[in-house]
Every structure is written in C-alpha cells, then in structure tokens.
Amino acid sequence: MTYKDHPWMGVFAATLCAFDNNEVIDESGLREYFARLCMVEDMKGLVCNGHTGEIMTLREKERARVTKLLSEEVKKSGKNIKVVSGVSGEGSLTAIDHALAVREAGADAILLMPPHYQLRFGRSSETAVNFIHDVAEGADIDIIIHQYPSWTKVGYTLDEMLEMVKHPRVVCIKMGTRDMARWLFDYEKLKEASPNLSIVTCHDEYLLPTLLEAGDGALIGFAGFAPELMIQLVQACLDGDLKAAKEAQQTVAPLARLIYNFGEPGSGAHQRMKIALWLMGKFSSPVFRRPIRPLSDDQIKAVSDELNRIGFETPNAKVVV
C-alpha cells in the first residue's frame, strides 16, 4: 500500500481558528477557510483544535462546534478527507468526554495530547501508556498520538510508544521529538512492531530533513497556511524525488523563517501565521484569543513587508496603515 492509498499517510493540515473582534468564533469565516482547504488536491486530512487552532483558549462546547463546522464542510466538498480534532484533557475521564463530544460532532479521529499537568510533575510510563489506552477504550475512536519534544516531561520514550501502538485504535503518531538522533531509529522500531502504523512529522522547521530520512507524511500548521506548497514538498520526499523536494524547499524556507523565526512552532508562530494569511486576504481575521495580545502595527507591517519581498501580495496591509 502506498502513502496515497493509506488513510493515515500524506499531508494533514492543522487548521487555524477564526475569531471576530470580540473573540467570538467567526463561523462564516471559519467555514470559508475550511472549504478552501477541502478543495486542495491530495489533502489527506484536516485537524482542528490543535495548538495551531488555539485549543487551550477554546471552551469544551466550542471545540465540538469547530469540529462540527469542519465535518460539515468536508461533507459538502464530497472529498475523502479525514476529520480530526485535537483532544486535551487532564485526566482519562475528561479526555474521554471531549473525545466523545467531537466524535458526535463528526470527527473520524482525535489528536490526543498528553495531560499538561504532567509537564510540571512528570508521570510514570504506566500512566502515560494507560492514558492512551483509556481514551481509546472509553471513546472508541481512532487516535493519533501527539508526541511532544523529547526535552519535555511528557515526551514519550520508544518503549512507551511501542506499548501504545499495541492498541488497534492507535493509527498514527504525530512525531514531534525534535531529536534528530532518535528520528530514524524510533521510526524503524515502531514500523517493525506495527507495519501499518503511520508516523508523520510535525517538525515544520525541519520538514525536509525529517521526511528525507523517514516518515509517512506530515501533520503541520504550515499545511493550513500554504497547503499546495506543503503537499508538493511532502509528496516529493515520499516519492524519493530529491530534486523536486529541494526546489519546493527553496520557496518554503523563507516562509518558514518568517513564520517560525528559526524556532519551534508555538503561539507566537501561530499568531504570525494567522496574521500573514489575513494579510494575504485568505483568512477572515487576524484576531488571536487572549491571553496572547495583538501584534503592534509595526510588527504586522514587518510581516507584510517580508511577504511582499518573498513575492506574496498582501491586500489587507492597507487596513493596518
């Protein structure tokens, strides 16, 4: 089975969330954004309520509502696109409740984040593995495991992931170790244990090197920003076409520097991404929910100027001036 035939291999776009000036979800703007992503050829899945989609600022009912909007737009498109919703819960029961809510709203799978209290206090391997299995059993929905950076207290070890993927509901790992020394070894060992498992990168800032070494696709916020370009790059890598991959990377690199500023994806990068897409006239609003504060006009102008320098038009820049 090739990556084009596998349901969990390829490009999955982590989507932004649109808000009006009062920080209320802009449903019409969000629908328009989802609908446009649905029309991108070879898009394998859309992932709402991730960190790119500001999950931590969304109330539980809002997370389900965003999932429903996405599910409805995917159905309207008639495309075979997976609907995935991020789930973040501090305990197994809370995560199960959230997973059930988004399943009811139309999600095909969840992107399951580790409990964030563990970032402070850590956890045992038994706790980490059983959290995944608890949610898989309790919500009866396919799971993409969200692997956090290895330097955090919630980054999974290889042994932990090998236990997690024994559950048939675990279909994919969003691999975000950001430890290139582990990347290929972990990939090979997980594939030995579970050959049909999909292992996708979320290393927006290391997209080319991770995919050239190993990987079955990408689940990245950058694919919600420049989807055609990301699909071009990822497919070239998966097809083993180094020349095409490096050509695509020449366009990706300056955009990545603008958005990620030589760092990892985070709230600052996601805010710049939203503002850049709005400046380009492809997103309804630049509003980022609190506690993140708005960028200054000078900062927004700097983003606009850099987009212009790279070769992108910014029709909404006149709104800032």
Range of the domain at 241: 10-252
- Cβ pair 278, 287 in contact under 8 A: no
Residue 235 domain-assigned? yes
d(CA 45, CA 41): 11
Residue 289 domain-assigned? no
Helix 242-260 with 267-279: angle, nearest 10 deg: 100
Residue 302 domain-assigned? no
Residue 5 domain-assigned? no
Residue 290 domain-assigned? no
- Cβ pair 217, 238 in contact under 8 A: yes
Number of domains comprising the chain: 1
Label each residue of the chain as H, E or C.
CCCCCCCCCEEEEECCCCECCCCCECHHHHHHHHHHHHCCCCEEEEEECCCCCCHHHCCHHHHHHHHHHHHHHHHHHCCCCEEEEEECCCCHHHHHHHHHHHHHHCCCEEEECCCCCHHHHCCCHHHHHHHHHHHHHHHCCEEEEEECCCCCCCCCCHHHHHHHCCCCCEEEEEECCCCHHHHHHHHHHHHHHCCCCEEEECCHHHHHHHHHHCCCEEEECHHHHCHHHHHHHHHHHHCCCHHHHHHHHHHHHHHHHHHHCCCCCCHHHHHHHHHHHHHCCCCCCCCCCCCCCCCCHHHHHHHHHHHHHHCCCCCCHHHHC
- pLDDT tens, the chain, 321 aa long: 799 999 999 999 999 999 999 999 999 999 999 999 999 999 999 999 999 999 999 999 999 999 999 999 999 999 999 999 999 999 999 999 999 999 999 999 999 999 999 999 999 999 999 999 999 999 999 999 999 999 999 999 999 999 999 999 999 999 999 999 999 999 999 999 999 999 999 998 889 999 999 999 999 999 999 999 999 999 999 999 999 999 999 988 999 999 988 778 889 999 999 999 999 999 999 999 999 999 999 999 999 999 999 999 999 998 765
Residue 257 domain-assigned? no
Residue 238's CATH number: 3.20.20.70
| pLDDT for residue 156 | 98
CA 279 remoteness from chain centre: 21
| pLDDT for residue 182 | 94
| pLDDT for residue 318 | 81
Residue 139 domain-assigned? yes
| pLDDT for residue 121 | 97
Residue 198 domain-assigned? yes
- Cβ pair 259, 269 in contact under 8 A: yes
